[in-house]
Structure 1
Amino acid sequence: MGRSGHGELANVGSSIKPKTELELAIFQRSVDQVYKIFLDKVGRARNLSPTALDSVAQGRVWTGLAAQKVGLVDQLGGLQTALNLAAAQAELGEQWQVKEYPTPRGLNSLLWNNLSHGLTETNSVVLPPFLRTNWQQLEREWAELAQFNDPQGIYARLPFSWHFLNP
């Protein structure tokens, strides 16, 4: 497997090549910026100075339970718990609803919307050339994606698929 690039930062993020000192410095600066934002936001919300908060947080990634034990979070829960707490704090009562913008669209909707731009006057789909040549692979991958059924649409997936052929 080869990789080609020009310039000092052409391979930033590559898992194939070792990181350069410059790349490491860029990643560290990014981590430091995110941590500073964390200290500022959580410190304001908890009425703690960034120094006091840093003495507890220590730049670590905490599990929810461990973070609760050291006072970094009040309560454990998911999105629905957070929405319920926000609605209670805003005194919305029992009759409230969340509307997502833009409306979440599934893969079928996204693909059909893109294909429908290729409809002719006779309402038949004209597939773009790259789809015509890769249709079987697309069908196979679409079938794989159809198996993902998490109601919140949260997944972790490798950026490639393995396909084993029977001998």
Structure 2
Amino acid sequence: MKEENKIDKLIRESLKAEKPSLDFTDKIMNQIEAKNSKEEMALGSLLKRTSIESPSLNFTDRVMAQIERTSALAVDKPLISKKIWILISVFVGSIFTYVLLTGEKNAAASEVIDGAVQKVGGAFSNSLSFELPALLTSPIFGLSIFALSALLFFDYFMGNRKLSVKI
């Protein structure tokens, strides 16, 4: 223990803290102030050399006119044009009509429809003849296509609805 106390005493004596002079803080503060004053003088001379630009009298009006012009040009274009929507509706309508006409038939309506289809189809029978798969002729498929088309049209018209709010 005595040896440990001796070692601690030696360490304490060798690690004496420096004591700065009484005016140490004042000297450091004066150096900082001198540096700040040099920077302020440089900034002041820089500001004096460059004049502050003031905008023209109609600056705000010109900027607002440009903003309005660019916002008017940015019109949302639909991904599918009206011509394509008409083409899609004709295609879906024709499939729906075909499914309704070739689905389950009762005898009286079947003869009338078959007669009309044969008269119209007689002109095309030589040039156009095809059979659709059973899936495409089912009534559920036709109703599904109709429901999907109705939802797409609803989405299209709700998305293109113009709302304007003026404040």
Q: TM (normalized to structure 1)?
A: 0.22
Higher radius of gyration, 1 or 2:
2
Q: Larger % of helix: which?
A: 2
Structure possessing the higher relative contact order (Cα contacts under 8 Å, 6 or more residues apart): 2
